Structure 1
């Protein structure tokens, strides 16, 4: 079974790409849905979050109540230290849910699965997938889209964008980049081309069901990622060499940018 990682950034168009992939009847594990699952009151992750942050992050500030997503988001998006703690609790829980579903798909004989992970790189899951697909759009377009889509102030929109790794850095990890800089049909066409390019060979899919070969195949994927190295080290080295910033936080644009109609 071939496992492909899909990532992007907030308002980059990744949701549209996900829907296009699903229209091809390719199984897709949506980690946004898993992120909601693991913070449900019945999940162990919920208890860990409440233990650290307190009931202030819950609706009506009462234990056992659902997470107050707006309040929780305000806390973690405005404080990098708090965000690291939250990610340290949530990411492992999501990773475990992903692995459960991957095993289920493998047991069913599925040949290709796409894992839609906004934090594919931050959560280190890029190391265990065969291919990384990044959906890219310019940061100024991101800003205009999120303001229009979510009705946020420019300050809040910028806080959410800058809480994520800049999209231009994510491109360095990509095996395939889908550029969302035109219209909706162009985005769908680009997605179809990428999915056609990465479809697995049926011969290798069959071999993957022999346990020894499965282990070898998984080992090869991990080794390939290890040999390729972490692009962050290259970026950090470049910063030191030229004393320049590779990707600065997004700031308010001084001019108005044309925004494509799709903002998912």
Structure 2
């Protein structure tokens, strides 16, 4: 699915947004874990979309629009992806079902963070720039790594072929453009320690602080 929406989200009083994005295999999930370990609330757009598609009424709408993709009350994500991948009309139809509910969830989670007195919340969005969502952020972290490193990671964890990973990568905004638009770039082609040092330096420059500090478990 594409990003939830490029429509400006309401600004929560006293709450700043840090966008987190990166190309496939760059290590965005690892950085998200590090941010959580530093006491920051990380809102994962993909996770919220998955939760939305567990709701019976959403499943019913998806099945009505795409017959055969819900089997015994469970969404066949691979079958759905096969139908909408590369088909803008079908993708738009799917997004119209899912995205309003994802936005509602994300707003509620932001409100909860603001009520807890948090100064920053992280928006973890894979296609942040593609959806124009950087306009809603007060800073954007881009995680990057060399292409071959990224491809090897995805092949190892997903079972996708090299060609399939390259095809997915080609459909995203080029890494060079993401880096150009970023507030800070994290190079995840080296050691975990080097990544953490870059992250802490970037958070320091941006004045981003969390509420706790505990050891992370990088993926």
Name the CA distance, whole Å, in 1 between partners of 2:188 and 2:113: 30
In the alignment, the residues of structure 2 paired with residue 161 and residue 167 of structure 1 have an alpha-carbon distance, to the nearest angstrom, of 9
The aligned counterpart of 1:257 is: none
Pick the aligned partner of 2:45 from 31, 55, 60.
31
Aligned equivalent of 1:57: 69
Quick one: structure 1 residues 12 and 88, their matched pair in 2 at CA, closer, same or farther if it must change by over 3 Å? farther
CA distances 1:230-253 after superposition (whole Å, capped 9, x unpaired)? xxxxxxxxxxxxxxxxxxxxxxxx
1:88 shift after superposition = 4.5
Equivalence for 2:8: none
Q: Give the aligned partner of residue 254 of structure 1.
A: none
Q: What residue is the counterpart of 1:144 in the other structure?
A: 152
The secondary structure found in structure 2 opposite 1:144 is: helix
Query: How many residues align structurally?
Result: 197
Secondary structure of 1:28's match? strand
1:105-124 CA deviation, whole Å, 9 max, x = no partner? Answer: 11221111111111222333
**Residues 106 and 175 of structure 1: is their aligned pair in 2 closer, same or farther, counting only changes over 3 Å?**
same
Q: Relative contact order (alpha carbons < 8 A, sep ≥ 6): 1 or 2 greater? A: 2
**Residues 158 and 196 of structure 1, relative CA distance in 2, 3 Å threshold:** same
More strand by share: 2
Q: As a proportion of its length, which structure holds more helix?
A: 1
Larger Rg: 1
| 1:170 pairs with 2:170 | no
Question: Is contact 1:49–1:89 with CA below 8 Å preserved after alignment?
Answer: yes
The alpha carbon displacement at 1:42 in A equals: 3.0
Q: Which runs of 5+ in 2 are unaligned?
A: 1-14, 210-217
| TM-score normalized by the length of structure 2 | 0.78
Out of 98, 111, 134, the position equivalent to 1:90 is 98
How far apart, CA to CA, are the structure 2 residues paired with 1:163 and 1:76? 14
The answer to whether the 8 A contact 2:45-2:102 is kept is yes
Gaps of 5+ in 1: 202-262
Counterpart pick for 2:115 among 107, 129, 136? 107
CA contact (8 A) 1:78 1:159 kept: no
Aligned mates of 2:85, 2:174 — CA distance in 1: 15
Match of 1:124 in 2: 132
TM-score by structure 1 length?
0.66
8 A Cα contact 1:178 1:187, kept in partner? yes
